[in-house]
A and B are shown apart, each in its own frame.
Chain A
Amino acid sequence: DAGVIQSPRHEVTEMGQEVTLRCKPISGHDYLFWYRQTMMRGLELLIYFNNNVPIDDSGMPEDRFSAKMPNASFSTLKIQPSEPRDSAVYFCASSLRQSNEQFFGPGTRLTVL
Chain B
Amino acid sequence: EDKVVQSPLSLVVHEGDTVTLNCSYEVTNFRSLLWYKQEKKAPTFLFMLTSSGIEKKSGRLSSILDKKELFSILNITATQTGDSAIYLCAVPSPMEYGNKLVFGAGTILRVKS
Q: A residues touching B (Cβ–Cβ < 8 Å)?
A: 31, 33, 42-45, 48, 50, 55-56, 91, 95, 97, 100-107
Contacts and interface: CB of A to CB of B under 8 A. Distances in A.
Interface of B: 31-32, 34, 41-45, 48, 88, 92, 95-106
26 contacts: A31-B98, A33-B101, A42-B103, A43-B43, A43-B88, A43-B103, A48-B100, A55-B97, A55-B98, A56-B100, A95-B98, A97-B98, A100-B31, A100-B32, A100-B34, A100-B48, A100-B101, A101-B34, A101-B48, A103-B45, A104-B42, A104-B43, A104-B44, A105-B42, A106-B41, A107-B41
A56 B93 CA distance: 12
A108 to B, nearest CB: 11
A83 B49 CA distance: 39
B34 A42 contact: no
B99 A91 contact: no
Contacts of B102: 45
A27 to B, nearest CB: 18
A101 B34 CA distance: 8
Nearest to A43: B103
Contacts of A107: 41-42
Given A42-B105, A43-B88, A55-B95, A33 B100 contact: yes
A56 B95 contact: yes
